[in-house]
Chains A and B, each alone.
Chain A
Amino acid sequence: MPIEITMPRLSDTMEVGTILHWHVKVGDEVSAGDLLADIETDKATMELQSFDDGCVEQLIVSEGNQVEVGTIIATLSEEGEVVSDTKEVIEVPAITQEVPAVTQKVSNTPQAAPTPTPPTGEQRTGQRVSPVARRLAEEHGIDLNSVQGSGPSGRIIKRDILQRIDTTSETTSAAQTTKVVSTDVVPSTVPVTPVNIAQPLAPTSPWQQERTEPLSNMRQIIAKRLVESKQTIPHYQVTMDFDMDPLLEMRKTLNEQLAVSGIKLSVNDFLVRCCALSMATNQEFNASFGGDCILYHGPVNVGIAIALPEERGGGLVVGTIRNADQKSLRTISQESSYLSKKARESGLAPDEMGDTTFTISNLGMFGVDNFTAIINPPNSAILAVGAAIEKPVVRNGELAVGHEMCATLSLDHRVIDGAMAAMYLQSLKELIENPASLLV
């Protein structure tokens, strides 16, 4: 029996993977641990190693092709096994065929943007639709591409269309209701100001030309997960300003003393520890909404959003600092630097980026003073951190110059209510403005 190698699940959100490069060819002897292929997942490019010894019998999925997790991508023959004749790379029906790196379209007339390849890329040409389903879809103006078939082999049947019609009519009636309400509110005479639309410049350089680029795996997953988050989680935000002078003072001292050991604590490292310690008295911040329950997590795993450089395709990943409440500033700082560096250079391993229970997104280093973030499911909160800015502040009834930082929590109202959010921020403020306790 040949050993089947399947597309592994390399992250907890991975559904499909792309074979970027095979490091072996048919006939190669491999041992357990040998590098077989580079696989692009939703988050990163990872190495696939062999778990077995054997001879590469078939490479079923060719480079550039994307298949679902669990699909057989190659087979190994065991020692002494006769290698079958099939030696060439077989093209299996992949989810998406290789697409040109950039699909450029230059056009002088405005045109609707071409529909990008759907994320799952089903081959619509072979779509199965029952005759009456097709007729009903036509009568109701339903795009069959948007309907998931429940019949055999995914055939779209009457039931699927009727369900769609039901959903659509609900949405439509809801929309109409909204419209009626807004008509009532809006004054009947709205002053119309003629707007001078600047003439668009003629395209002069390549970046100004209209073009379409297929989504990378990462953009697909970001799109999917954040839409899901923003649409299903009842978000709200609570903001607080923090006096940063004591913390910045302490950081300066510590960094001076730690310079010899090559350690440089960032403001974010302090925030990771503050956020983690505040969980002890605000356990809902370390919890997830579970449908009919709230899941309280044991470990406090703080995620830190890491932007990736353009040359690695951009996007962002969330690195995980596990058990952050039990780690010293030094350890947090070391782990944080390691994760950022690794994420930017070679990509994070699955255990370096999953299982977060709370996330911090910090744009302070870019001079942003405040912003809001979208919750990273299954977390129930995310902290959006701005820069510590020097500005006029009132201290003890007097105007002074000090550093203030604005941070905004986005919260899942199904788990955390406003007062709880305020208490968490107070707890955070207590730690940030009295940072000595962070050292013990």
Chain B
Amino acid sequence: MSVATAERVIEFRDALREAMSEEMRKDKRVFLLGEEVAEYNGAYKVSKGMLDEFGAKRVIDTPISESGFSGMAIGAAMRGLRPIVEFMSWSFSLVAADPILNNAAKMLYMSGGQFGCPIVFRGNNGAGGQLASTHSWCVESMYANIPGLKMAIPYDAYDAKGLLKTAIQDDNPVFFLESERLLSTTCHVPEEEYTVPFGQAIVRRAGTDCTIISFGRPLHFCLKAAGELAKEGIECEVVDGRTIRPLDIDSMVESVRKTNACVIVDQSWSFASIGSEIAAQIHAICFDDLDNRVYRVHSDDVPTPYAHNLEQAYLPNARKICEAVRQATYNV
């Protein structure tokens, strides 16, 4: 029996679990492995209750050895299974760089099409709050540089579920970047089956004066900035790219053609980043539609500070975004 569930609101972490559980129920090849995912119900309780439902063969606790269990999962994927690898933090994926970048991303190419690698790597990305510089990695710019992989960054619980289901169903390695700071956020997530396709950006707020492009957690700062700028009479259009690979540059360009101004907000460092890539593409595709150069807001070019005040100053925030938009729209 189903009750009216139009406004069912759940947490981001629940949405992730629903996506994994639903896909695991549908497809026996899908399984989850990672540190503390089973007995402890997940370091962030994302996999709560999954051990009970799916058993220890499909929800597997691993040793603290990202290189080892990532390699194992990649082998499983090559042999026909569809693993989901949870990194407690994407910061820890660095020790698994060789298997995830050299093996997972290149296997289809290196094997001449004999072996694919349908695998999802997921976990927290970006500053979690005073985790200091080695545990606050934003890996998107670094990893998105690699051909052969896909990358999704959900903004809310709805997208977390819809994008993760698409990731699990995809036959390619997908890097799925969550944020510890968003796990407790809630929004409406339907109970009915749905997915969010890759490569389709969405306008989170419509506006006429400046396009703001971002992904994941910084979108929340963008929307806050857009609210403040509206009071000054500057109407921003906030575009959520949703996936970095594939990148929906067409939607971004469409918005820039309308506003003639563009600010990109990317929580990774500015040098050779997602922000610089999108800026380059916009300059290349719609140069004649720009009224100013593309402005970018990034984390400052230093290792992430531990001190709370310094960390706040280091990250992209609404104040920095407002400043960039004023510059881009000649309202300074």
Hey, what's the 0/1 contact readout for B265-291 against A, CB within 8 Å counting as 1? 000000000000000000000011111
7 CB < 8 A contacts A-B = A131-B291, A132-B288, A132-B289, A135-B288, A152-B330, A157-B292, A159-B291
Q: Are B288 and A131 in contact (CB under 8 A)?
A: yes
**B200 CB to closest chain A CB, in angstroms?**
26
B47 contacts the other chain (Cβ, under 8 Å)?
Answer: no
Residues of B within 8 A of A131 (CB): 287-291
Q: Which 9 A-B pairs have the closest CB atoms?
A: A158-B291, A130-B291, A132-B291, A132-B260, A131-B288, A135-B288, A131-B290, A131-B287, A157-B291
Q: Are B260 and A158 in contact (CB under 8 A)?
A: yes
The docked-state distance in angstroms from the alpha carbon of A130 to that of B291 is 5
The docked-state distance in angstroms from the alpha carbon of A131 to that of B290 is 6
CB nearest to B283 among chain A residues: A131
Residues of A within 8 A of B291 (CB): 130-133, 157-159
CB nearest to B327 among chain A residues: A152
A171 contacts the other chain (Cβ, under 8 Å)?
Answer: no
Would you call the interface of chain B mostly helix, strand, loop, or mixed? loop
Residues of B within 8 A of A158 (CB): 260, 291
**A275 CB to closest chain B CB, in angstroms?**
51
Q: Are B289 and A135 in contact (CB under 8 A)?
A: yes
CB nearest to B332 among chain A residues: A152
Residues of A within 8 A of B292 (CB): 130, 151, 157
Chain A interface residues (CB < 8 Å from chain B): 130-135, 150-152, 157-159
Hey, what's the 0/1 contact readout for B96-138 against A, CB within 8 Å counting as 1? 0000000000000000000000000000000000000000000
The docked-state distance in angstroms from the alpha carbon of A130 to that of B288 is 8
Residues of B within 8 A of A159 (CB): 291, 330
The docked-state distance in angstroms from the alpha carbon of A140 to that of B291 is 16
Q: Are B288 and A134 in contact (CB under 8 A)?
A: yes
Given contacts A152-B330, A159-B330, list 12 more A-B pairs with CB under 8 A. Answer: A130-B290, A130-B291, A131-B290, A131-B291, A132-B260, A132-B288, A132-B289, A134-B288, A150-B330, A157-B291, A157-B292, A159-B291
Q: Are B287 and A157 in contact (CB under 8 A)?
A: no
Q: Which of B287, B291, B330 has the most CB of A within 10 A?
A: B291
CB nearest to A138 among chain B residues: B288
The docked-state distance in angstroms from the alpha carbon of A132 to that of B291 is 5
Chain B interface residues (CB < 8 Å from chain A): 260, 287-292, 330
**B235 CB to closest chain A CB, in angstroms?**
15
CB nearest to A135 among chain B residues: B288
Residues of A within 8 A of B288 (CB): 131-132, 134-135
**B144 CB to closest chain A CB, in angstroms?**
27
Residues of B within 8 A of A151 (CB): 292, 330
Residues of A within 8 A of B330 (CB): 150-152, 157, 159
The docked-state distance in angstroms from the alpha carbon of A131 to that of B292 is 8
The docked-state distance in angstroms from the alpha carbon of A202 to that of B271 is 70
The docked-state distance in angstroms from the alpha carbon of A214 to that of B35 is 83
Residues of B within 8 A of A133 (CB): 291
**B59 CB to closest chain A CB, in angstroms?**
54
Residues of A within 8 A of B289 (CB): 131-132, 135
The docked-state distance in angstroms from the alpha carbon of A381 to that of B290 is 50
Residues of A within 8 A of B290 (CB): 130-132
**A136 CB to closest chain B CB, in angstroms?**
9
**A151 CB to closest chain B CB, in angstroms?**
5
Residues of A within 8 A of B287 (CB): 131
**B289 CB to closest chain A CB, in angstroms?**
5
The docked-state distance in angstroms from the alpha carbon of A269 to that of B330 is 57
The docked-state distance in angstroms from the alpha carbon of A151 to that of B287 is 17
CB nearest to B260 among chain A residues: A132
The docked-state distance in angstroms from the alpha carbon of A307 to that of B223 is 68
**A382 CB to closest chain B CB, in angstroms?**
43
CB nearest to A134 among chain B residues: B288
**A362 CB to closest chain B CB, in angstroms?**
52
The docked-state distance in angstroms from the alpha carbon of A122 to that of B181 is 54
Q: Which of A131, A133, A135, A157 has the most CB of B within 10 A?
A: A131
The docked-state distance in angstroms from the alpha carbon of A150 to that of B291 is 12
CB nearest to B292 among chain A residues: A130
The docked-state distance in angstroms from the alpha carbon of A150 to that of B330 is 9
Residues of B within 8 A of A150 (CB): 330
The docked-state distance in angstroms from the alpha carbon of A307 to that of B101 is 86
Residues of B within 8 A of A132 (CB): 260, 288-291
**B117 CB to closest chain A CB, in angstroms?**
42
**A133 CB to closest chain B CB, in angstroms?**
6
The docked-state distance in angstroms from the alpha carbon of A151 to that of B330 is 7
**A393 CB to closest chain B CB, in angstroms?**
68
CB nearest to A130 among chain B residues: B291
The docked-state distance in angstroms from the alpha carbon of A310 to that of B99 is 90
**B169 CB to closest chain A CB, in angstroms?**
41
**B256 CB to closest chain A CB, in angstroms?**
10
The docked-state distance in angstroms from the alpha carbon of A135 to that of B288 is 6
**B332 CB to closest chain A CB, in angstroms?**
9
Residues of B within 8 A of A135 (CB): 288-289
The docked-state distance in angstroms from the alpha carbon of A135 to that of B260 is 12
CB nearest to A150 among chain B residues: B330
The docked-state distance in angstroms from the alpha carbon of A91 to that of B27 is 79
The docked-state distance in angstroms from the alpha carbon of A134 to that of B287 is 11
The docked-state distance in angstroms from the alpha carbon of A134 to that of B291 is 9
The docked-state distance in angstroms from the alpha carbon of A317 to that of B292 is 46
**B197 CB to closest chain A CB, in angstroms?**
31
The docked-state distance in angstroms from the alpha carbon of A159 to that of B330 is 9
**A375 CB to closest chain B CB, in angstroms?**
38
**A72 CB to closest chain B CB, in angstroms?**
28
The docked-state distance in angstroms from the alpha carbon of A410 to that of B4 is 84
**A129 CB to closest chain B CB, in angstroms?**
10
**B258 CB to closest chain A CB, in angstroms?**
11
**B232 CB to closest chain A CB, in angstroms?**
15
The docked-state distance in angstroms from the alpha carbon of A159 to that of B288 is 15
**A165 CB to closest chain B CB, in angstroms?**
14
The docked-state distance in angstroms from the alpha carbon of A150 to that of B292 is 12
